[in-house]
Each structure stands twice: as C-alpha cells, then as structure tokens.
Amino acid sequence: MKDQVYNIFEQQQTDRGIDLEAVKQKLKEIQVETPSWGYGDSGTRFKVFQQEGVPRNLYEKIQDAAQVHKHTGICPGVAIHIPWDQADDYQEIKRFAAEHGMKVGAVNPNLFQDEDYKFGSVSNSNPKVRKKAVEHLLECVQIAREVGSKDLSLWFADGTNYPGQADIRKRKHWMYESLAEMYQALDDDMRMLIEYKFFEPAFYHTDLADWGMSYNMAMKLGPKAEVLVDTGHHPQGTNIEHIVAYLLDEKRLGGFHFNSRKYADDDLIVAAHNPYELFLTFFQIVSAQNDSDAGIRKTTENIAYMLDQCHNLEPKIPAMIRSITNVQTLYAKALLIDLKEVEDAQQKQDVLAAENAVRKAFEFDVTPLLNVVREEMGVPANPLEAYLSSSYGEEILARGKGGASW
C-alpha cells in the first residue's frame, strides 16, 4: 500500500525528474542467483563449524534457495558446483527445481580440490592432469545442456607459491589451450564467464590474477567468453567501478559474484563493509543502461548477477536474504541518480556538483520505494523479518548436523 511516506518520496523524485515507474520496473526485473554451496556447511582455513539444518543434498539446497526467492522475488536461479552437486539424473534436478519455482543457474566446475590438482589444473605442467581438467570442463558443458543453463562460471586456483616453482609463460599457454578446447564445445547460446583472483591459495603468482588477464583470455577465445567480476577478489583500494566501466565499454562484462571482505577472502554478506562501493558499481551499470551504444545497453541486459558466499557463523538462509536485500537497496539508490544532472556538471567541469549529484542519491532512504515494489511483486515488504517469522527455519532442524559441505 502506498502510504504517506511513499507519497512524499514519490513527489520528491518526481520533482527531481526521476521516472519512478521505470525505476520500479528495473527493480522488479533484476535477478540474482544464489549459490548452492552457500547453503551447505563451510568454514575457515582452521575449522568447519557445522550448523543444524543445512542441506544434505542438492534437492535440499534447491529447497532452501527457493525460500530466498519466495521472500525476495528476484532469486529464481541457483548456481551449482560440480562435483559438489553431482547428480545421476540432471533432468530430474531440472524438474525438481521447476516444481519449486526455481531453475538451475550457472554451472561451476571444481578444479581445485582433486589431489591431482596440487600443482594446478589447466595450467599444470603434467599433460595428463591438464587433460583430466579439460575433461571435467567438457563434462560441465554437458551438464549445463541437461539442466538448461547457458553460463559456465570458471575460477582457477592455479598458481605458484615461490619464484622459479614453475614457468609462468608456459602456464599461460596451457591455460589458453585448455580453455580453447572448452570454448569449442560451447553451444552458440552458451558463454564462459572467466573469473580472476589477486591471490590465494597461490601466494607468489596466480595464473589469472586480475581483470586484465581474464579480459585478454576472453578476447583471445572469442565472443562467447566474458569476464566475471568477483567483488572480493581485488587488492585493497582497487577501484572496482572503474573495472566495471571499462568492461562495459568493451562489451565484455559477463557477470558478478557479489560478496564482501575487509582484508582477504571474500565470503561475507554483500556490502557488509563498503556499501558505497557497490552503489558506485551500480552507478556505472545504470549509466550504461542509458548509453547511446546499443551494444553496451545489451551488455547490461545480459549481466549475470550471482552471490558467491559461504556463511560460517551466521545462519545460511537469513544471510542470503540479507545479501539480496542489500543488493536491492543499493541498486535502487543507483537508479535514483539524476544522470542528466551528472552529465551537465561534467560538461561544466564542476567537480563538486558532479559528486553531489551522485552522493545525494546514495543518501535517499529507499525503504518506501522497496516496500511498494515488493508489494506489487507479491512478496513481503521485509523479506528477512518474514522469513524469520515463518516455520521453515525450525522445520529444517530435523535434518540434524552433518549435511552437505564443500
């Protein structure tokens, strides 16, 4: 229901020249996948802290993901990780997901936990190991076909800990050769999203250490290869929104893994530490949505938004819901930026006016807007509160401890 607070908000935005109906439509259209592995047991480098009620298999992960979608309305996809989510019948998985109002999202190959990958997978100096890694990538392409997924999300732990441990240039070529074989196996409407990570678990060099290496690899492979930006995979102080703007302009921004971190690792709730950073990232996307270049606009339409989080202390489903509502909040704020005001200030080289035009949108309380959007979508105005008031969290305790883990 549109109350007095919303009416004041609506008038305020109308006076600024903001098309609030268009903003509401974009908030209804955005979709964010949640990760199957985020519902299972996980931990730090030192210990996995088991929780009661975590899923014991992929079916229960899908059920939990369906709760996030039920309460937010924008999470119909659940990404899967192979072999963590290995199944005998993927058509059955697809059917089960549909029964719960869900679909299988990105397929994520696992190339970092097998004993053979101790010294790398697609960049390993041993050709037998590289062959094994490629066979797994091809297996995941086939799984994607069976579940109806169009995206394969690729992250590699490959790297070294010491100078001289391996030939860095040779490893670069081996990676390209491996990914080229996978690329050729993709259907025309599939794409590979190439992720990167500054460090960890490799502490001297990582084979795909930054966005430029992933971008270069994607450009060499072809148009079905794009870059995946994980918001926690950068050195401290990195200007992530600059990377996003660059990749948008090059039409190679394929997707995001949303999470947060303060120092290293990246498994915290979205925007837990720096909400303004994600807001500015969305600013670049919103600006590109209005670009005169149709190719850039199309790139924004095809961005795969995904969470990549493993909650070690907090309960899984509420943490996912909190992340999603944080994404919605910051996207809503970015949609309220008066792009014409920003452009005018830029043309005048008025630095303070340009910064103010961006900043004041961040400072709006978008709660009234999100309440109305959610009501129109038929979901609770306060998704987290609604979930905590439901009986689902109590019901799943019957699963006990010792569920699926990564």
Query: How confident is the model at residue 403, as a pLDDT?
Result: 77
Q: In this model, does residue 44 exceed pLDDT 90?
A: no
363 is a domain residue: no
- Name the burial class of residue 117, with classes exposed (0-12), middle (13-18) and buried (19+) by CB atoms within 10 angstroms of its CB: buried
Q: Which residue has the higher pLDDT, 375 or 42?
A: 375
Q: Confidence class of residue 264 from pLDDT cuts 50, 70 and 90?
A: confident
Give the total number of structural domains in the chain: 1
Answer whether residue 158 is part of any domain: yes
pLDDT at residue number 1: 59
Q: Quick: pLDDT tens for 220-262.
A: 999 999 999 999 999 999 999 999 999 999 999 999 999 999 9
CA 333 to chain centre: 19
Domain assignment present for residue 206? The answer is yes
- Determine what percent of the chain is predicted with pLDDT higher than 70: 99
Whether 117 is in a domain gets the answer yes
pLDDT band at 405 (very low <50, low <70, confident <90, very high): low
pLDDT single digits (tens) 87-100: 999 999 999 999 99
Q: Is the pLDDT of residue 406 over 70?
A: no
pLDDT, tens only, 126-182: 999 999 999 999 999 999 999 999 999 999 999 999 999 999 999 999 999 999 999
Tens digits of residue pLDDT in 199-210: 999 999 999 999
- The HSE-up count of residue 379 (CA atoms within 13 Å, CB side) is 23
Please tell me which residue, 401 or 35, carries the higher pLDDT value: 35
Measured CA to CA, the distance from residue 225 to residue 26 in angstroms comes to 26
Q: Which residues span the domain enclosing 266?
A: 31-337
Does residue 3 carry a pLDDT above 90?
A: no
Mean pLDDT of 392-400: 96
Query: Does 132 reside within a domain?
Result: yes
Instruction: Establish if 395 belongs to a structural domain.
Output: no
Question: What's the pLDDT at 237?
Answer: 94
What tokens were used for 385?
């509160």
Identify whether 385 is part of a domain.
Answer: no
Per-chain mean pLDDT for the chain? 96
Q: What is the mean pLDDT of residues 102-110?
A: 98
Report whether the peptide linkage leading into residue 368 is cis, meaning its omega lies within 30 degrees of zero.
no
Confidence of residue 344 (pLDDT cuts 50, 70, 90): very high
Query: Could you give the C-alpha distances from 225 to 188, 193, 217, 371, in angstroms and in order?
Result: 11, 6, 8, 38
The CATH number covering residue 138 comes to 3.20.20.150
95 domain-assigned: yes
Average pLDDT over residues 306-322: 95
